[in-house]
Amino acid sequence: MGSSGLMPPSEAYPKAKDYTLKAIELDPNHAESHLSLATIQFYHNWDFEGAEASLNKAQDLGLNSSLFNQVHGWFLIAKGDFEKAIEKFNRLLLSIRFHYH
């Protein structure tokens, strides 16, 4: 909601982070919760170290969704790791192509 203008980011992201941390507390192996935390850390807090740890945790838990590859790709671009970013975006495109065919 904070990124779409439906709620001020200063309200939306702290709430989202609280809910995400609670979800991880309830189920530490829920990969999508770690992706959610990485998204908040990267896009709102600019916490690159935390975002990388959360992305790695989501990946270690087997997450390989199109959203994961999109967020991870943009994160890698921000870090300047363009070759790995291209790999992530290629995976994203393949998953979209496979999903819609």
pLDDT at res. 94: 84
Nearest CA-CA partner of 40 in 29, 32, 51:
51
Give me the pLDDT at residue 99, please.
61
3-state secondary structure the chain: CCCCCCCCHHHHHHHHHHHHHHHHHHCCCCHHHHHHHHHHHHHCCCCHHHHHHHHHHHHHCCCCCHHHHHHHHHHHHHHCCHHHHHHHHHHHHHHHHHHHC
Catalogue all structural domains in the chain, each as residue range(s) with its CATH number.
9-100 (1.25.40.10)
Q: Which residues contact 65 (CB under 8 A, 6 or more apart)?
A: 32, 35, 95
Q: How many CB atoms lie within 10 A of CB 16?
A: 20
pTM comes to 0.88
In the prediction, which pLDDT does 98 show? 66
Give the pLDDT means over successive 10-residue stretches in the chain (101 positions): 86 96 98 98 96 98 93 96 94 75 52
